[in-house]
Structure 1
Amino acid sequence: MNLDDQAFLFQLGSRIREIREKKGLTQAELAEKCQLHRTFIGSVERGERNLSILNLRIIARNLRVSLSNLF
């Protein structure tokens, strides 16, 4: 993975964290809604995880935002 990819994942994760916090959700609460593990959500938010489009869709749906709002 190159630096551009890493920067993209970090920005995406930061945006997910920003939206989650605005919605008043903890990582654990979002993870439960998404049926994903809390550590998975944490690694996504830190930009450490290259997640699938399906998991991205699940996260967006449970944050009640469109996919485009994550970018």
Structure 2
Amino acid sequence: MSSDKHALLLAVGKRIRALRIQKGWTQTDMAVYLDINRGHISDIERGKREAGLITLQIIARGLDTTMARLLKGL
């Protein structure tokens, strides 16, 4: 994986994690509420897995934001 791609995945994951924590959710809470596997969420937050567009949309809506805001400035 290129360093640019890895840096982007880490930045997206960090933002998702921050919004999740701000909402007061654990990864398990988020997984149950959004019907996404907790391991998948963990991998996304740690930059180990790339989230597809549909998954990003589901996450953004669940975190009360938009994909545009989620990805802004990255």
Give the TM-score normalised by the residue count of structure 2.
0.91
Matched with 2:57 is 57
Matched with 2:30 is 30
Q: SS at 1:21's partner residue?
A: helix
Matched with 2:46 is 46
Percent of aligned positions that are identical:
38
Q: Distance in 2 between matches of 1:28 and 1:2?
A: 30
Q: Which runs of 5+ in 1 are unaligned?
A: none
Q: Which runs of 4+ in 1 moved over 3 A?
A: none
Give the TM-score normalised by the residue count of structure 1.
0.94
1:46-67: CA deviations, max 9, x gaps? 0111111000000111111111
Matched with 2:6 is 6
Q: Distance in 2 between matches of 1:16 and 1:62?
A: 11
Q: Distance in 2 between matches of 1:51 and 1:17?
A: 14
Which AA in structure 1 matches 2:70? L
Q: Which runs of 5+ in 2 are unaligned?
A: none
